[in-house]
Structures are given as C-alpha cells and as structure tokens.
Chain A
Amino acid sequence: MNSIRTRLLAILIASTGLVWLLAVAWIYFSTQAQVERVLDARLMEAARMVNSLLAERRIELALAGNGSGPIAEVQFEDATYERQLSCQIWSLDGRLVGRSEHAPEDRLTDSGSGFSESVVNGEAWRVYVIENPLLGVRVMVGDSLLVRDRLVGGVIKGLAVPAALILPFLAGVIWVSVRRGMSPLNEMAGALSRREASDLRPLPNENLPKEIAPAIHALNGLFRRVEEAREREKSFTAFAAHELKTPLAGLKTQAQVALASHDRQVHENALRQIAAGVDRTARLVRQLLDLAAVEAADRTPHLVEGRPRELVSRILADMPVERDRVKVEGDVKQVAAFDAVLLTLAVRNLVENALCHSEGPVVVRIEGRSRTDILVEDQGPGIPADELPHVTDRFFRGRQRSSTGSGLGLAIAQEAIARMGGVLSIRNRNPHGLAATLSFAAEEEK
C-alpha cells in the first residue's frame, strides 16, 4: 500500500531502531573496554600488594621446602576479591610456594612477567605476573575470563534491559505521533472521499497547518472554477436553447399561419416574418459558430504584425451589410500584432452590434500613441449604466434590445480580444451612443 503513514512509520521505526542498535553496540564495546581496563588495573594492584607483602615478610614462604611443605595461604581481606581473584606464588625454579584459597593448583601462566592470557584446566585466565628476584619468586594474580565476561555481561544487561523495554514504548510513541501529525491529511482525505462527485462546496479552510493549506486553497480554487464553469455551461445551454428554439417556434407559427389563412395580406406578412426570422436565426447560428471558433482551446492565436487601419478596412470591406453607414477614421504610425481571424470576429461583431442598435453612422476610429485602440462608436441609445458590467455575458440582452440581436456579439468580441492579449472596454458616449474600444499593447514604433 502506498501510504504516507506507513512509509513514515517504517522510516522512523527503522532509523530509530538502527540508532538504538548502534548506541547499544557502542555502549557494549566501550563498557567492555572500560571494565577490562579496571580489572587489569585491579590485577596489577593485587599482584603488587602480594609482592610488597612478601617483601615485608608479612607472608612466610616455604622457599626452602621441597614443595611438600606448607604452602603459604594468601588472604585477601575483601570478600569479593577473594571469590574473583586467584593468586599463586612460584619460586623461580618452578615450585608452587603459595596460593590463594580457591586458586587452581596448576601454574596460571608460563609468562615471565606482565599480562598474559592462558588456559588452565579448560578455563581461560588473564594473569599478571611480577617477578621478585630478591625473594626468588614470581607472584601471579589472575582473573577467570568467565568471571570477567559475567561482569561485563552484567553491566551490559543493566543497560540493555531497560533499553529493550523502551523499544516497544518508543514504537508506540512514534505510531501515535505519526497518526496525530497526519490527522489533518486524514481529515482532508476523509472529507474528499465522503463527498459526491457533483459536490463542489469548498473544503473547510480554518486552522489549517501550513503544509496542507496550499493544497486546500488550490482545491477550493479549483472547485470554485469548476462550479463557475458548470454554472456558465448550464446557463449557456438554457440560453442557447431559448435563443434557438424561439425563432424556430416563430418560423413554424408563421408557416402555419400562412397555411391556414387564405388572405393574401396575411400570407405576405407571414412570409416576410419568416424571411426575417431566418435571417436572425442565421446570424445567431453564425455567432454561435464564431463563439465556438473563438473558444476553441487548441487554437493558439497566430499573431502577425500589421497596420491596424489596413486590417480594419479589409474586414469592413468583407461585411455584407450596410457598408455605407460605416466610416473609418484616424490612423496610427505603429504596427501591432493581430490574429487575423480573432480581429475579424471582434471588429465585425462590434460593428454589427453598433449597426443593430443605432440608426446613424457608425465610426470605426483608430488611435493611440503607446498602444493601439480601435474604437467602434455609434449614436444609438447606449447601455444603461447598471447593465454595462453584464454586456459581455453570453446571451445578455438588456432592456434596449434590438429585435435582431442575440446577446452574443459583445461576448464574442470580448473573448476574441482577450485571446489576443488585448482589452475590450465599453462606455456610453456623451450625449448618447456607445463606444466599444479594443485596446492592444503597442509594438515598438517604426
């Protein structure tokens, strides 16, 4: 399972365990070395003590004897030493002249002096030897390694048992901390998995840890955008249905009127209405296609530099309707980067919109110093101030609607100019009329 918690737990427990093991090993070896050193020092001290006792004649040796005489008993005062240390005193010619109570009878070592290790009766010993040539003896003091190991083992055990007991507790603490540390993530995952696919309400975003906050904010932002897109889609569908079906209903009704009536005048009127309805529907269909063309996601704007006035004149020349009402004024020195298709859509829709909503001349004015502005000005009634923010919404038709409008023209112009990186601004003119401005960023002057 690919779980952050499992991974975290594994990493934490493995690394903690490793550190723990290393610590235990380190303690083991250093303790062992320390204990060895202390014990070696003890051996040396004991040997020296026995040696000095011998030198001061506090211990009588049967040096003259042949080995069968009484063997000196070396007595240590400390009871623990008695059990652990063994002492032998050998004459230089190889006779045992004295030993401690539990010391083995066999010679502890063959070494002449200093530290050595040997095996006596199958038991390993560490022995320190002092040679006393004055007395003609060697004093040997030895530790059984078995005893030594037990001692080291005891120290290690004293350390290792509590450490081992701590291990499960440590694992538990790690587990609980990881769990608690991950709880905001779990809550988020839970909240997300509980919701329906269509539920786009924002996730709660209070008291968020700073690691998760960006994810939650990004998610909420995404939810909001999806929701908006869905709302737009929904209202677009509803409006498109209305705008397409209504003229169809009109056409059908007029056709049925023409069929039902025998009156010539009624016939004529119905046919005229049908023709007008077809024109309007055709324009609507064209605008829907324009909108689709502007929106096509895979089409990146193909910007080509050109002289704005030439481009606008060419676009207007291609427009079939009411050419004589449209005038082009002004010019700019600079060239600007346009996408021919998008610019055509924007200018054509703005001009058509102006023609639709006004009787008088429509002026396309090209101006600008640092940037290029293409203004489309009419002398119609303008747009009520409260409707201005909505005029670029799809299918928005204000109170000043014309009978042929679809509410798409400004939306198309807005979308087209935005794709080219420009801005569409719309304002009312004084005393009346509307000015729609396409603003482009300037290229360097020629």
Chain B
Amino acid sequence: MRILVVEDDPVLLDGLSAGLGLAGFTVDAVATCEDAFAALETHKYGTVILDLMLPDGSGLDVLGFLRQRRDATPVVLLTARDQVHDRIAGLDAGADDYLGKPFDLDELAARVRAVARRGSGRATGTLHWRGVVLDPASQTASLGGKLLTLTRREFGILSTLMERPGMTVSKATLEETLYGWQEEVESNAVEVHIHNLRSKLGTGYIKTVRGLGYRLAEENS
C-alpha cells in the first residue's frame, strides 16, 4: 500500500519513511502543506499520515483539502497536541485516527493497516483467497498452511490483488502502489515480480488480462 507522510521534522520524517517501508508500505514523504497538496493532486494514496503543525499551515488544512474533494482516503493524525479537545477537533475534521507523539512505530503501522482495512470494508486483518493467506501485519504469506517466502514487492502485488478479488488491476496502478517517488522503476519490473510470484504460488493463481493488467484467477479457470 502506498501512503503519504506529511511531517516537517527531518529526523522523524526519515524514521517514518524507513520504518513504514520496513512494515511493507510504500512511503511518499513530504514536509509542507504545499507539497502535500501537490502529492494528493497527482496520486491516490491508501492512507495519509499527517502532522498537525506544519511550517506553512496546519495538517487540518490538508485534511480539509482532502475531504472537500470528497476524497475518503483514510487519514491518521500525528501530533504533540494530544489533549482530548485536540483529538476531538481532529477527528471531527474528518480524520480516521489519532496518535500522540511520541508514538510506537508498530502501533502506527497497525493503525494505518486498520484504517485502510476499514476503508475497504474488511473486518479482519488477514486476506484469504483459495488457500492463500496474507497477513499484512507480519508481512507473511502462506499457501495451504505452508509458509511462502515473498519479497516485499511480491507481497505488495499479491495483497493489492487480493484486496479486490476478481478485479483487474493495471500495471500502472501496481507500479504506483509499489514504488515511491524516489525509486527507479524498470519497465518490466512488475512482469518480473508476477513471474516470480507465479513460480512460488504455482500457475493458475494470477491471470494476465491482455492490455489491461492482472487479476486473480477463479479456481476452475
């Protein structure tokens, strides 16, 4: 899942990028409201993590910008002002969750997964499909009870497909989900990952829809 982190403290921003990357997210990191607006204009994010005090405005401005466009992207607020009335103001402004600084990185990752899951209407944390079980929290996958060893990108492609079983996901969407701004994407990167996934899962799980992208194959196909 690709997420946007808006935080002006360089050390924290760097830590969030690295930490959430380790947790399996693709992270875009910006430090100002202006950059956040630009990023939100051009990309669709699974979740936005937002600091409230920014150099050129408040995180609530970014939140308002999102909600005004009827964009339901889940938003987790990060702030030092964690008094009750601050939380209430943030949540009422349309935030999905709220975390006071300093926070636990694992808790933040769990909350991001939770708001994203709720956003897509699922209740459980794990993804199930034809005996394949994905656990985004531990970044583990298994097939018929046997553990699969997947790379971060492979896991990302599989979970993106499994979040919407039966839907065709374009190569561009997959690339966008897997790679942040700073990362170079080789033109056949997605094909390579799909190939590797097929060799680990076995054929007949991921179907190529020519010209459109990929989707999960039905059992009898």
Contacts and interface: CB of A to CB of B under 8 A. Distances in A.
A249 B55 contact: no
B79 A242 contact: yes
Interface residues of B, number: 28
Contacts of B105: 252-253, 256-257, 260
A209 B218 CA distance: 90
Contacts of B19: 253, 256-257, 260
Given A242-B79, A245-B80, A256-B106, A250 B55 contact: no
B56 interface: yes
Given A242-B79, A244-B80, A245-B102, A269 B14 contact: yes
A322 B13 CA distance: 27
Contact of B80 (A246, A277, A397): A246
Contact of A399 (B10, B13, B56): B56
A247 B104 contact: no
A254 B15 contact: yes
Given A241-B80, A403-B10, A246 B101 contact: yes
A269 B79 CA distance: 24
Interface in A254-312: 254, 256-257, 260-261, 266, 269-270, 273-274, 276-277, 280
B185 interface: no
B129 to A, nearest CB: 28
A248 interface: yes
A247 B55 contact: no
- The prevalent SS among residues of B at the interface is mixed
Contact of A260 (B16, B22, B55, B100): B22
Interface in B85-114: 100-106
B12 interface: yes
Contacts of A270: 15, 18
Contacts of A277: 11
Interface of A: 238-239, 241-254, 256-257, 260-261, 266, 269-270, 273-274, 276-277, 280, 397-399, 401, 403
7 contacts: A242-B79, A246-B12, A256-B106, A257-B22, A261-B18, A266-B18, A274-B11
Given A242-B79, A245-B101, A277-B11, 20 more contacts: A241-B80, A242-B52, A243-B80, A244-B80, A246-B51, A246-B101, A247-B12, A248-B102, A251-B102, A252-B102, A252-B103, A253-B15, A253-B103, A253-B105, A260-B22, A261-B18, A261-B22, A266-B22, A273-B14, A274-B11
